[in-house]
């Protein structure tokens, strides 16, 4: 399977379960790998045949900036569902990092993998 990736995508949002976290915006970082057949764009050399990672980046950033979830797990699930529903992606791995959330750690977060649900 071919993979298209977005690495280090950052977006500010309100996230966290503590009262102080609900009053500030925090910067989150996303690494996303997406399953996509690159043979067609490689053959045509046409950008219209590719997976538009700029559009995906903009969509996730806009969604994250307007969200206010308590858990990174919830935000990761919603972002994964959004990409699977709106873009021609068969599989994705999403890493969501919350820098500075735990003392003496660069970041904490989750890594999830999801696939497109088969249609009946």
Complete domains list, the chain, with CATH: 3-115 (3.30.1130.10)
Q: Which value, to the nearest 10 degrees, does the dihedral of the CA atoms of residues 90, 69, 105, 33 take? A: 10
pLDDT at residue 101 is higher than 80: yes
Helix (H) or strand (E) holding 40: helix 39-44
Decide: 60 and 79 in contact? Cβ < 8 Å.
yes
Over residues 53-66, mean pLDDT: 97
Name the pTM for this structure.
Answer: 0.91
Question: Of 30, 72, 98, 109, which is the active-site residue?
Answer: 98
**Close Cβ partners of 3 (under 8 Å, ≥ 6 residues apart):** 33, 34, 35, 36
Q: Which pLDDT belongs to residue 120? A: 62
What integer pLDDT is reported at residue 118 of this predicted model?
Answer: 67
Whether 98 sits among the annotated catalytic residues: the reply is: yes
């Amino acid at each position: 399977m071919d993979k298209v990736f977005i690495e280090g995508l950052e977006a500010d949002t309100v996230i966290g379960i503590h009262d102080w976290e609900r009053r500030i915006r925090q910067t989150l970082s996303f690494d996303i790998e997406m399953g996509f057949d690159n043979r067609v764009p490689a053959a045509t050399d046409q950008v219209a045949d590719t997976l538009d990672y700029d559009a995906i980046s903009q969509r996730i950033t806009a969604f994250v900036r307007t969200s206010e979830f308590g858990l990174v797990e919830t935000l990761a699930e919603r972002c994964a569902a959004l990409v699977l529903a709106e873009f021609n992606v068969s599989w994705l791995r999403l890493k969501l990092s919350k820098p500075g959330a735990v003392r003496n750690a660069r970041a904490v977060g989750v890594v999830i993998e999801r696939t497109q649900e088969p249609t009946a």
